[in-house]
Amino acid sequence: MPRVYLIDEAQPNAFATGRNPEHAAVAATRGIVELLNARELRGVLAHELSHVRNRDMLTSTITASHAGALSALAHFGLFFGPRAASGPNPRRARRVQVADRIQADHALRAQAAVE
């Protein structure tokens, strides 16, 4: 049987955690206990216990771990990806050239308008 905890928090919430039914815990916040009547609260806790029984927590933990690892790899790639080794971005260099031409053109037009 999983351990049951009451969390002193006003936000209504309930969740199950643990790697298997022997090491599981079900928690409910003070907010949900105050918000729901006894029958509704039994339903919420039964739902959380079903996660324990079906080992959904393990699946969620593995999924979250994989998502975190992929996110870390993506952030790592931003700093040490192929562009970092290949020098400046050619698209950015082209945009700078176009912006410089436009600025020079505006300067010439302004000078011609003054004369």
Tell me the domain boundaries of the chain: 3-67, 80-114
In the predicted model, what is the mean pLDDT of residues 103-111? 80
* Helix, strand, coil share of the chain (percent; to 5): 70, 10, 20
| Beta-bridge partner residues of 6 | 28
Homologous superfamily in CATH for domain 3-67 = Metalloproteases ("zincins"), catalytic domain (3.30.2010.10)
pLDDT for the residue 12: 97
pTM of the model: 0.56
3-class secondary structure, 16: strand
Q: Which residues are catalytic?
A: 48
- Give per-residue pLDDT as tens, 51-80: 999 988 888 888 889 999 999 988 887 777
Q: How many CB atoms lie within 10 A of CB 14?
A: 18
Residue type, 76: F
pLDDT of 70 = 93
Q: Counting beta carbons within 10 angstroms of the beta carbon of residue 7, is it exposed (0 to 12), middle (13 to 18) or buried (19 or more)?
A: middle
Q: What is the pLDDT of residue 4?
A: 94
pLDDT at 29 > cutoff 60: yes
